[in-house]
Chains A and B, each alone.
Chain A
Amino acid sequence: DIVMTQTPSSQAVSAGEKVTMSCKSSQSLLYSENKKNYLAWYQQKPGQSPKLLISWASTRESGVPDRFIGSGSGTDFTLTISSVQAEDLAVYYCEQYYDTPLTFGSGTKLEIK
């Protein structure tokens, strides 16, 4: 199974600050034939299902604010929120869909100071 290691487990920031969170996979998520990284980022607010923010490591979903930026390739990935807003309070998960079993990071809980 591909292990996804997500850090930090929680982070408290003030509105307007930049935040970065990391996701590392135990094997490469880059598929050589199409040069795509099979890595997604989700936002989960309390009482809601995970909402797709980023697919293919860096493709922002339609309607997602451009302050959410996904980057990285291979085994190291980052989600950056360029200027955190109060509504970004949530848990953020990475997921690899390169192979089954699908596996997830343990989540980064974002708290607003």
Chain B
Amino acid sequence: QVQLKESGPGLVQPSQTLSLTCTVSGFSLTSNSVHWVRQPPGKGLEWVGAIWSGGSTDYNSALKSRLSISRDTSKSQVFLKMNSLQTEDTAIYFCTAYLRWGQGVMVTVSS
């Protein structure tokens, strides 16, 4: 069955770069898109961006200048990189595919 798992650092300093990995199983990255969604503590869900089955990407317009999503199909991994992090980027970051979600990784931006 479809499974996703996020990994990455829990604490990032302001102005630094966030790097997250989503490892998937149960499907091929060349057959379906993977999306990143984030949720600030106690708040709702915000779409961050996606990488499509063909490898093209789509980004939240408010984050586009700071964001990059890529993948390694041989390892079934999708990568998110976001630079110039601020405190308002503190959130749980989820990856999702086929409407199934990973467990999420809490990212705190703080010095």
Contact = CB atoms under 8 A, between A and B. Distances in A.
Interface of A: 40, 48-52, 55, 93, 95, 97, 100-107
Contact of A49 (B44, B60, B61, B103): B103
Given A49-B101, A49-B103, A97-B99, A102 B44 contact: no
Contacts of A101: 47, 58, 60-61
A18 B42 CA distance: 26
B47 A107 contact: no
A107 B40 CA distance: 14
Contacts of B85: none
Contact of B47 (A49, A93, A100, A105): A100
A52 B47 contact: no
Given A100-B58, A101-B60, A103-B47, A52 B99 contact: yes
A102 B99 contact: no
Nearest to A50: B101
Give 6 nearest A-B pairs by CB, closest first: A102-B47, A104-B45, A49-B101, A101-B47, A52-B99, A100-B58
Given A101-B58, A102-B37, 9 more contacts: A49-B101, A49-B104, A52-B99, A52-B101, A97-B99, A100-B47, A104-B44, A104-B46, A106-B44
Given A49-B94, A100-B58, A102-B37, A107 B99 contact: no
B55 interface: no
Centre residue among A50, A97, A103 by max chain B CB count within 10 A? A50
B66 interface: no
A106 B45 CA distance: 8
A55 B99 contact: yes
B80 to A, nearest CB: 15
